[in-house]
Chain A
Amino acid sequence: MGSPKDRTGHYLPLSPQDFHVLLVLRDEPLHGYGIVRAAEEQFSEHLGLDIGTLYRIVARLLEQGLIREVEPKKSAQPDGRKRRFYQITKLGLQVARAEAARLSALLRSPAAADLLEG
């Protein structure tokens, strides 16, 4: 097995929407609408997360092992409507961290700094 960097490098760069979904699933397990709402609350920019796009991302992240399905708490489904909850995996967390570091390094580059100041 390679180093964590080798393992995460395979997944980078992440698309902005994949990255946002990983970030909102970092704190607690969420279902589909919960992800949409959390993304809207946490990121002021418009993500364009319609349900079709969202579930393609969810399917991809599940396939890559970056998120997993978890059993919901009973209190989380008061209306009886069954929903699946998703949570970030250890690998997903490493990938999200690596993506954050990649973006941070990119922003620290002289060219990016020049753009932001200009």
Chain B
Amino acid sequence: MAGEKLETVEIVKGKDESPNIKNFGDFWNFLKKELIPRGNIGTPFNVISLPIMLLGYIFIVYRLATGLGKPITNLNQQYPWGLWIGFDVVTGVAFAGGAYVLCFVVYILRVEKYHAIIRATVLNGFLAYLFYAGAIVLDIGRWWNIYNPMIGNNFGVNAVMFLVAWHFFLYMLAALVEFSPAIAEWLGMKRLRKILGAMTLGAVVFGICLSTLHQSGLAALMIMAKSKIHPLWYTEFMPILYFVSSIFAGLSMVVFEGSISHKVFGSQLDEAHRKHYDDILVGLARICAVTMFGYFFLKVILLVHEHAVPYLNSAMGFWYLFEVIGFILIPCLMFISGAQQKNVSTIKFAAILTMVGIILNRLNYTFIAYNWYVPLSEKYWPAPMELVVTASIILTEIWAFRWMVNRMPVLKEPPAWAVEKEH
């Protein structure tokens, strides 16, 4: 089957250490064994991250019990959206964009070069949606009603939020199906692996359609705030900007995450993969550079189209130029330079700059350039508890990613039986 073939191309045979799960009891015993931590648990990362995560969980329970206002957040009627929406949801979803871009490149364009990193990228995208987009629960005042758009109890089809809710939900399912062959391999379920492998291509196409829609759908949420967002940022073409920027934001995240994974999980990689990795980075840098170049011109043309040029000579104008030149144009040039000289450090640094730029851009829309006319003393600043909750969500995602990579065939070779039988 088409999906099955695609999923198993160029996979080197691995050792067959699959469990023999025949019933729920076997599965439960296997899961219990897998949940036991492996290796040294007293690492500096664990020691620092665990207290932050636990503190964050306490704050989350407190927020769900007492509501959105002070002291847990600094949100108010003037600033209904803050760090949780601006960073966790809107920025997190842009960073998760790498999954749909790479799936398009690998499964649709058939560029097999990137196949080696596809599972890690899809897993990263899936977890980003699960945790960051899932954090939207925290930002909904009556969070206990979150399932209503799904079950038809007051669908709210006129709201952009309805669109976003369904897109998030469906994309999470699509990403789960895309990643599910790795879960089946981990559980040693050969028949299920075959069925899921066949579903991959369909899930990829569905996922790409959903991503183009919901990346821009997030910007559609901002369109209604015309009087509040600074004219340098506001344009009716924001959905296009969000979609285009999600391409290089997602790929920059792939470069960043991949670089860390290669250091942390280096022992799971074979020599060929490690040698090949620099070529993958060079390819990703090229895609980023071209997309950023187009995005930069889009920004310029929209600046003129919206008659916003006179605003450049103001404090907000300088802030805008700082974002566009410092975090779009400069990283774009760095990506080109890094790709031409095959300088991986330059590419990685450009990826970090790009990510910072995307964070700035999304936070500008949510609370920096939003209500820009409000005096500084009345501006929104994230409360300490908001910061801890955000850090807690990010760290939980990293823990989940690490747990899955250490157990499932994400970076390491899949079991021998999973290698194609149809060729």
Chains A and B belong together in one complex: no
Taking Cβ atoms with an 8 Å cutoff, the residues of B that contact A are none
Taking Cβ atoms with an 8 Å cutoff, the residues of A that contact B are none
